[in-house]
Structure 1
Amino acid sequence: MTEFVIQPAPQASVAVAGSQARFPIRRVFCVGRNYAAHAREMGKDPDREPPFFFTKPADAVVPAEGTVSYPPLTENLHHEIELVVAIGKGGANVTPAQALDLVWGYAVGVDLTRRDLQDVAKKMSRPWDWSKAFDASGPCGPLHPVSAVGHPAKGAIWLKVNGEPRQQGDLDELIWPVADVIAYISESMTLAPGDVIFTGTPAGVGALNPGDVVTGGVDGLGEIAFTVGKR
């Protein structure tokens, strides 16, 4: 048995729908501006940019239920509803035709963003880590196995704040579908079981305040609901 000089951190994981078992998280990849309308609302041209990625630590993924903390160092916390993909088989340089064979399941997640910090980072050409990779920045609902839901390629994706619609889109509006995203990542590094991918958000991102109730969902994958905690 390996001896460590300090106690290792608990294994980050996400719930599995209808099961007591959990899915262990290895790494978290996120796709930027993967819906055309969202790319345009962020001032970019979706027709000319290849996909780009940023990451979150595995333990940034928390249950999308109960209370999710409002993070420090921000006055402009934004919501971004996303389809989440869980990788169950590893692979490098896979083709889009092969890519879906790597998927274990899908979930509904929210990429929380400290938008004011991100805006500063963009202006100064600095990394996005402080705006994207903070504690509890990836609330996520239970994973649904491919065996139960297949590979969702279309269907509504939406988010409401205090019952008011904020984001509404369809999975068929993804600029780079799931298979393409997996293939792109696998060209840069070897994907492994436990990797998780947040696939991008539709238009309508906006600010959250303490006490706000966030609800959201993706057709066929259920709904999530959580309350934003105190500052």
Structure 2
Amino acid sequence: MYHDARPSVWDPQQYLLYAEQRARPFHDLVARIPVERPDYVVDLGCGPGGLTAKLERRWPGAKIVGVDASAEMIQRARGCEGVEFVRADVREWAPEAAVDVMVSNAMLQWVPEHARVLRRLASFLAPGGWLAFQVPGNYEEPAHVEMRDLAASARWADRIEVAWPVVHDPVEYVDVLCDLGMAVDVWETTYVHLLDGPDDVLEWLRGSGLRPVIAQLSEAEADEFVEQYRARLHEAYPAGRHGTVLRYRRIFAVGHI
């Protein structure tokens, strides 16, 4: 996870409410890295560490390092065995040696100008190294459109200032990685998550995109904003016969030197 310019706190417990759904893109990404015995593997934006620990089982014998800017996430992650965890801003972090596999799952969207940061990260790869990342591509879905619209409304415009996450078109990631001399595999997938009810969409966003918004508000203001947002989500995501459907597009990129 990445810390925004304004102070805010990641809540590992809230983030893990939908751990299974959040984990699936990570597994789909790692499955496209055909490396048998890397020596040094890094997970950038490791969050609470559970997925990083799975890298140790995928590549036993490798040195596995998880990096995250959130003190709360790193504290939770350090309960995982067999992995080293480091608190650092990805824009400033540097590895202790050349990296064989560098993975980043749903983190780069929080990093301003992350296309430029990707060039820096690629410079840390060992010959034959791999850089693989995944970012959400769903910022035009109602959950995010309604959040931005509400934050810009007359009630909240002078109280909320957020550097909203930014991702690029998949073709732009192709260009960035190809410009670095990499063989490239870029794709996108839209997951269709079936949730129990309309409030599940709100709880999902509490663990990620809503966090930097309510962090700027007093407790009473945050409660007010959340209730207004809840009403919008109920309209945008009505419960169906089998639950509430949350469409979630994600963009994947794997580069190999």
In the superposition, the TM-score normalised over structure 1's length comes to: 0.30
The structure richer in helix per residue is: 2
1 or 2 for the larger relative contact order (CA 8 Å, sep ≥6)?
1
The structure that is strand-richer by fraction is 1
